[in-house]
């Protein structure tokens, strides 16, 4: 049986991981390679690196980081942030990234999904969607939730699947940062509509929240950042807890 995946997400700026990471035995918490290796060791099933660099040097810096990670890491990883064209994606693929995630660029140019899927296969293309409930509708947001769009989340995800997205990373801006649990209602609804894997994001605060999102929404994977980085949830403990609740995991 296919295991449910646990995915730590790392923010990267100028080739360095940001956000407080306090693993005791890390020599350098800002080193993405060391951090990635640590997570792989703990039993993470996959990693997501989100590049938040805003300078012109970003692309070169990112490629170097991706290569360093790929040299060391023996599990799959996804790179997101700043991918606007085929050439960006190809450079990341050649540097060893398993998947890329696109967000704003796909909203602005939906054909990008189609082009990426045709060039590199659907398995390479993750569509990240930030959603927020506004005036009775789930609306797609950009720029980390600051910019609302006309798109309704359900419609956009369905359209993206048709265009060739291989996986959906859905972040609920209403739940993100609350540590009150994932948005199981919306995740379950979207999951029913599509036939590609979906990663739940936003709201993880305890191990029970992971159990809940797998049981209620039957998502394929769950992603979190701070609960892992601050050591509030240790992946081996989480996997045992999920197993006790009869959720298939890789131990």
Q: Does 174 bind other proteins (CB under 8 A)?
A: no
**Among this protein's residues, is 88 annotated catalytic?**
no
Of 76 and 188, CB closest to other proteins? 76
**What does the alpha-carbon distance between residue 178 and residue 72 come to, in Å, rounded to a whole number?**
33
Among candidate residues 138, 184, 182, the one with its CA nearest the CA of residue 157: 138
**Distance (Å) of CA 106 to CA 5, 132, 139, 142:** 25, 18, 15, 11
Q: How far is the CB of 199 from other proteins (least distance, A)?
A: 10
Mark the segment that binds other proteins (CB under 8 A) among 8-16, 24-32, 175-183, 195-203. Answer: 195-203
> What token pair was written down for 225?
């950042």
Q: Does 188 bind other proteins (CB under 8 A)?
A: no
**Among this protein's residues, is 130 annotated catalytic?**
yes
Task: Please give the distance of CA 100 from its chain centroid, rounded to a whole number.
Answer: 10
Binders of other proteins in range 128-157 (CB under 8 A): none
* Residue of 11, 174, 176, 220 marked active site: 11
> What token pair was written down for 129?
């969607």
Q: Does 122 bind other proteins (CB under 8 A)?
A: yes
Binders of other proteins in range 32-91 (CB under 8 A): 40, 45, 67, 70-72, 74-76
**What does the alpha-carbon distance between residue 88 and residue 63 come to, in Å, rounded to a whole number?**
9
Binders of other proteins in range 214-243 (CB under 8 A): 220-221
Residue whose structure tokens are 């999951």? 191
Looking at the DSSP bridge assignments, the partners of residue 101 are 80, 126
The residues binding other proteins (CB under 8 A) are 1-3, 5, 40, 45, 67, 70-72, 74-76, 93-96, 98, 120-123, 166-167, 195-197, 220-221, 250
Q: Enumerate the active-site residues.
A: 11, 130
């Amino acid at each position: 049986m296919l295991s449910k995946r646990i995915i730590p997400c790392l923010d990267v700026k100028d080739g360095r991981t940001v956000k407080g990471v306090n693993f005791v035995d890390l020599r350098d918490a800002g080193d993405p390679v060391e951090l990635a290796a640590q997570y792989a060791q703990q039993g993470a099933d996959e990693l997501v690196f989100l590049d938040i660099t805003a300078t012109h040097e970003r692309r070169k810096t990112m490629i170097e980081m991706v290569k360093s990670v790929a040299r060391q890491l023996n599990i799959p990883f996804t790179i997101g942030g700043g991918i606007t064209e085929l050439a960006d994606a190809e450079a990341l693929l050649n540097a060893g990234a398993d998947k890329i995630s696109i967000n704003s660029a796909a909203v602005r140019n939906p054909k990008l999904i189609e082009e990426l899927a045709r060039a590199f296969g659907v398995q390479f293309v993750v569509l990240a969607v930030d959603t927020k409930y506004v005036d009775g509708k789930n609306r797609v947001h950009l720029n980390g939730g600051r910019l609302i769009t006309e798109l309704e989340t359900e419609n956009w995800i369905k359209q993206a699947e048709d265009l060739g997205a291989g996986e959906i990373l859905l972040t609920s801006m209403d739940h993100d940062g609350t540590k009150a649990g994932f948005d199981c209602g919306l995740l379950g609804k979207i999951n029913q509509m599509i036939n590609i894997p979906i990663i739940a994001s936003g709201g993880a605060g305890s191990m029970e929240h992971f159990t809940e999102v797998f049981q209620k929404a039957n998502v394929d994977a769950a992603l979190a950042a701070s609960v892992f980085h601050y050591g509030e949830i240790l992946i081996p403990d989480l996997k045992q807890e999920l197993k006790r609740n009869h959720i298939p995991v890789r131990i």
